[in-house]
Amino acid sequence: MCNNLLSLLKNENATIGIVGMGYVGLPLAMRYADRFQQVIGFDIVPERVTAINEGQSYIEHISVGSLFAALKKGLKASTDFSRINECDAIILCVPTPLNKYREPDLSFIFSTMEQIQPYLRPGQVVSLESTTYPGTTEEELRPRIEKQGLVVGEDIFLVYSPEREDPGNRLYTTQTIPKVVGGCTEACLKVGIALYQAAVDKVVPVSSTQTAEMTKLLENIHRAVNIGLVNEMKIVADKMGIDIHEVINAAATKPFGFTAYYPGPGIGGHCIPVDPFYLTWKAREYGVHTHFIELAGEVNSAMPLWVVDKVADALNKHKKAINGSRILLLGIAYKKNVDDMRESPSLQLLDLLLQKGARVEYSDPHVARLPKVRKYNFELTSVKLTAEQLALYDAVVLATAHDAFDYALIEQNAKLIIDTRGHFKQPMANIIKA
Please count the residues of the chain.
434
Is the same domain home to 26 and 141?
Answer: yes
Is the same domain home to 297 and 192?
Answer: no
Q: What is the pLDDT of residue 85?
A: 97
Q: What is the pLDDT of residue 102?
A: 83
Is the same domain home to 154 and 297?
Answer: no
Is the same domain home to 428 and 288?
Answer: yes
- Is residue 227, in this structure, part of any structural domain at all? no
325/394 Cα distance (integer angstroms) = 6
Tens of pLDDT along 271-313? 888 889 999 999 999 999 999 999 999 999 999 999 999 999 9
270 has a pLDDT exceeding 80: no
Q: What is the pLDDT of residue 41?
A: 98
Instruction: Kindly list the catalytic residues.
Output: 271
Q: What is the pLDDT of residue 197?
A: 97
Q: What is the pLDDT of residue 273?
A: 87
- Is residue 223, in this structure, part of any structural domain at all? no
DSSP string computed for 348-398: HHHHHHHHTT-EEEEE-TT-SB----SS-----BPPPP-HHHHTT-SEEEE
- Is residue 214, in this structure, part of any structural domain at all? no
The percentage of the chain sitting over the pLDDT mark of 70, rounded to a whole number, equals 100
Sorting pLDDT into bands at 50, 70 and 90, what band is 337?
very high
- When the pLDDT of each residue in the chain is averaged and rounded to a whole number, the result is 95
162 has a pLDDT exceeding 90: yes
Q: What is the pLDDT of residue 271?
A: 82
Tens of pLDDT along 346-395? 999 999 999 999 999 999 999 999 988 878 889 899 999 999 999 999 99
pTM for the full model? 0.92
**Domain count of the fold of the chain:** 2
338 forms beta bridges with: none
19 has a pLDDT exceeding 80: yes
**225: DSSP letter:** H
Tens of pLDDT along 34-66? 999 999 999 999 999 999 999 999 999 899 999
95 has a pLDDT exceeding 80: yes
Range of the domain at 426: 233-433
Q: Which of 190, 206, 222 is the last residue of a domain?
A: 206
Residue 418, classed as helix, strand or coil, is strand
- Give me the mean pLDDT over the 155-169 stretch: 93
Is the same domain home to 69 and 192?
Answer: yes
Sorting pLDDT into bands at 50, 70 and 90, what band is 99?
confident
Sorting pLDDT into bands at 50, 70 and 90, what band is 170?
confident
- Is residue 242, in this structure, part of any structural domain at all? yes
